[in-house]
Amino acid sequence: MILRHKARTNSAGPTGHLREDYKMRRLTMIAGAAGVALLMSTGAFAQVPPDPANPNEAVPEAMVQPAYGEPINIETAKKAAAGAIAEAKKRNWNGMCVAVVGPSGDLVYFEKQDNCQFASVTISQHKARTAARYRRPTVVFERLSGKGPFFAYLATLDDVIMSRGGNPLMAGGKIIGAIGVSGGTGSQDDVISQAGVAALK
């Protein structure tokens, strides 16, 4: 009985190996075909023609972004924040958070009014950081995002906040930092932020 069992086992072995070899060859062929299809599709995507309706297809002749200057120091940062807070008090707005960052977006100075909402502590810093790192007011992102699906890519950019209230701080035509304000409506935030910018002029 034992000998017969062994014989059956041994005779089944080669058939099993043939099946495994067939499966492996089939998988290899499928993988190869998939690779060729992927390469061909990649080439096709690389040759997508421009879309005349997409304003992002236009190639500017020059780059006009302002250069970065020496990072804002603490005294100058306090001056910008003081100008912002003074404007809020003048308008009887109690609820603003004001953040001032250097050109890299790192926090230099922060001040908040007593009634500032907790969320605005970090939102104000985010607005300032975006304005500094991207060298433009955050209202630019807000307005572009409202222009339709061709600007949906803005939401994929690293560390961008698309609401007004963040503005670069300039000295000698160069960016030394930025100020971000949060706590009111977007328009209120931007008015207070602009007051901080004006305090350095």
b/e per residue, 139-156, with b = 16+ CB within 10 A?
Answer: bbbbeebeeeeebeeeee
Per-residue model confidence (pLDDT) at position 7: 44
pLDDT at 103 over 50: yes
Name the helix (H) or strand (E) containing 101.
strand 97-101
Q: Alpha-carbon distance 128 to 119, whole Å?
A: 15
Q: Domain 74-198: which CATH class? A: alpha beta
Q: Are 189 and 181 in contact (CB under 8 A)?
A: yes
Kindly report the backbone phi and psi dihedral angles of residue 168, in degrees, each rounded to the nearest multiple of 5, phi listed first. Answer: -65, 150
pLDDT at 137 over 80: yes
Q: What is the pTM of this model?
A: 0.75
Output 54 or 166, whichever has higher pLDDT: 166
Q: What is the mean pLDDT of the chain?
A: 87
pLDDT at 121 over 80: yes
pLDDT at 31 over 70: no
Mean pLDDT of 33-50: 63
Q: Are 97 and 183 in contact (CB under 8 A)?
A: yes
Output 92 or 22, whichever has higher pLDDT: 92
Output 119 or 14, whichever has higher pLDDT: 119
